[in-house]
């Protein structure tokens, strides 16, 4: 099982969109996947078509992590109902429901014991091949809790000045966190998202990112897509949305998932 945090220290770069795009690709590939919605806004829960029932949300599981029974509290994404059954059995895409309750842990002063709360919850995550953790856009307790439970961190950035600067700060933060709390943690790579091919500013910033981050800048880049909000608003996987643009986006997320999982296996992903 690979645990991959999707992070950014700057909001508005499409971090949750990348998380759900990767979840769609994992579902299409038959990868048994759990999405942990750690952002108090719980947008991933909404986008994945989850209808919460009596299950505990992730915030309440974090409150008593050693007593939390993860298998009893995950919710099946409605996306899985649209996926074909393959030779290994029915498709698996489960979600730990997000909620504002997680905000009580989004503080800068969490100690080592608190940072292990998500790790303790995920100890009950048997049967999954991939865990995607959608982090809030900050470096407070929740993101650090996610990093402590993760093998790798994927950073999401737009090719803009403030986002590139935020990515550089996040890279430094990962190195400091690795030294102090998580010696096995490393960046899986940087996802350039919402790229506009006709923008000279984006072209310049992508070249800057290649110079700054080298092979950590992952391929492929994810272009800005006009109908992405419509896809998310319908709580639909991009792989099942009609039209050529959605088909193209689905292919890009297939490639991105493959590169991220290869990075998680210790293989070096190459930038395009």
pLDDT tens digits for 151-192?
999 999 999 999 998 899 899 999 999 999 999 998 999 999
Low-confidence ranges of the chain (pLDDT < 50): 266-272
pLDDT for 88: 62
Task: Using alpha carbons only, give the angle 206, 210, 215 rounded to the nearest 5 degrees.
Answer: 135
Cα 29 to Cα 105: distance, rounded to the nearest angstrom? 34
Query: What would you measure as the largest C-alpha separation in the chain, in angstroms?
Result: 53
Residue of 209, 107, 127 lying closest to 117 (CA atoms): 107
pLDDT for 83: 72
- Model confidence over 211-235: pLDDT tens digits? 999 999 999 999 998 888 899 889 9
Tokens of 145: 């809790």
E-assigned strand segments in the chain:
2-7, 33-37, 75-76, 93-96, 130-134, 152-157, 186-192
pLDDT for 90: 80
How deeply is 233 buried, as exposed, middle or buried, from its count of CB atoms within 10 A (0-12, 13-18, 19+)? exposed
Helices (H), 128-189: 141-149, 161-180
Cα 253 to Cα 21: distance, rounded to the nearest angstrom? 6
pLDDT for 86: 60
Query: 223 near 194, Cβ under 8 Å?
Result: yes
Query: 266 near 37, Cβ under 8 Å?
Result: no
């Amino acid at each position: 099982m690979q645990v991959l945090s999707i992070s950014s220290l700057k909001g508005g770069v499409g971090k949750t969109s990348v998380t759900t795009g990767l979840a769609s690709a994992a579902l299409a590939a038959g990868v048994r996947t759990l999405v942990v919605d750690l952002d108090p806004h719980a947008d991933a829960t909404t986008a994945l078509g989850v209808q919460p029932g009596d299950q505990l949300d992730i915030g309440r599981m974090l409150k008593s992590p050693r007593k939390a029974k993860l298998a009893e509290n995950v919710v099946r994404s409605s996306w899985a109902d649209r996926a074909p059954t393959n030779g290994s059995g029915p498709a698996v895409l489960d979600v730990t429901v997000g909620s504002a309750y997680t905000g009580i842990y989004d503080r800068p002063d969490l100690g080592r014991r608190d940072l292990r709360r998500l790790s303790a919850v995920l100890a009950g995550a048997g049967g999954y091949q991939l865990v995607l953790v959608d982090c809030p856009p900050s470096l407070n307790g929740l993101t650090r809790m996610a990093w402590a439970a993760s093998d790798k961190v994927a950073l999401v950035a737009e090719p803009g000045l403030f986002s590139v600067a935020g990515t550089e700060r996040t890279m430094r933060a990962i190195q400091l966190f690795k030294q102090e709390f998580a010696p096995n943690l490393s960046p899986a790579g940087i996802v350039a998202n919402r790229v506009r091919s006709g923008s000279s500013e984006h072209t310049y910033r992508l070249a800057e990112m290649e110079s700054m981050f080298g092979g950590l800048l992952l391929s492929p880049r994810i272009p800005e897509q006009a109908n992405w909000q419509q896809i998310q608003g319908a709580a639909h996987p991009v792989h099942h949305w009609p039209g050529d643009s959605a088909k193209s986006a689905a292919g890009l997320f297939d490639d991105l998932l493959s590169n991220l999982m290869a990075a998680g296996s210790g293989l070096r992903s190459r930038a395009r």
